[in-house]
Amino acid sequence: MKRFIYPSSIETARALTLHLIKLLNDEPEKVFHIAFSGGSTPALMFDVWANEYSNITPWERIKVWWVDERCVRPENSESNYGMMRMLLLDVVPIPHSNIFRIMGENKPADEAVRYSHLVRKNLPVENDMPVFDIVLLGAGNDGHTSSIFPGQEHLLTSSEVYEATYNPNSGQSRIALTGQPIINAEKVIFLIMGKEKADVVSEICMSGDTGPAAYVAHHAREVELFLDQSAAAKLK
Ligand X SMILES: O=C1O[C@H](COP(=O)(O)O)[C@@H](O)[C@H](O)[C@H]1O
C-alpha to C-alpha distance for 70 and 217, rounded to whole angstroms = 23
57 binds ligand X (CB under 6 A): no
Least Å from the CB of residue 28 to ligand X? 29
38 binds ligand X (CB under 6 A): yes
Q: What residues numbered 172-211 form the site for ligand X, per CB under 6 A?
A: none
Q: Which of 104, 108, 130, 138 binds ligand X (CB under 6 A)?
A: 138
C-alpha to C-alpha distance for 148 and 154, rounded to whole angstroms = 9
Stretch that binds ligand X, among 13-21, 31-39, 124-132, 151-159 (CB under 6 A): 31-39
Least Å from the CB of residue 54 to ligand X? 23
Least Å from the CB of residue 174 to ligand X? 7
Q: What residues numbered 71-110 form the site for ligand X, per CB under 6 A?
A: 80
- Helix/strand number for the chain, H first, E second: 7, 11
Least Å from the CB of residue 111 to ligand X? 15
Alpha carbon separation from 158 to 133, 154, 177, 182, 202 (Å, rounded): 20, 6, 10, 11, 26
Q: Is the distance from CB of 142 to CB of 149 less than 8 angstroms?
A: yes
Question: 3-state secondary structure string, 159-179?
Answer: CCCEEEEECCCCCCEEEEECH
Least Å from the CB of residue 74 to ligand X? 14
37 binds ligand X (CB under 6 A): yes
**Which value, in Å, is the radius of gyration of the alpha carbons in the chain?**
16
- By Cβ distance, which residue is nearest to ligand X? 39
Q: Which of 41, 180, 184, 202 binds ligand X (CB under 6 A)?
A: 41
- Output the CA angle 32-40-115, nearest 5 degrees: 45
Stretch that binds ligand X, among 39-47, 57-65, 102-110, 117-125 (CB under 6 A): 39-47
Give the rounded distance of the alpha carbon of 198 from its chain centre: 19
C-alpha to C-alpha distance for 17 and 218, rounded to whole angstroms = 24
Which residues of this protein are in contact with ligand X, per CB under 6 A?
A: 37-41, 67-68, 80, 138, 140, 147
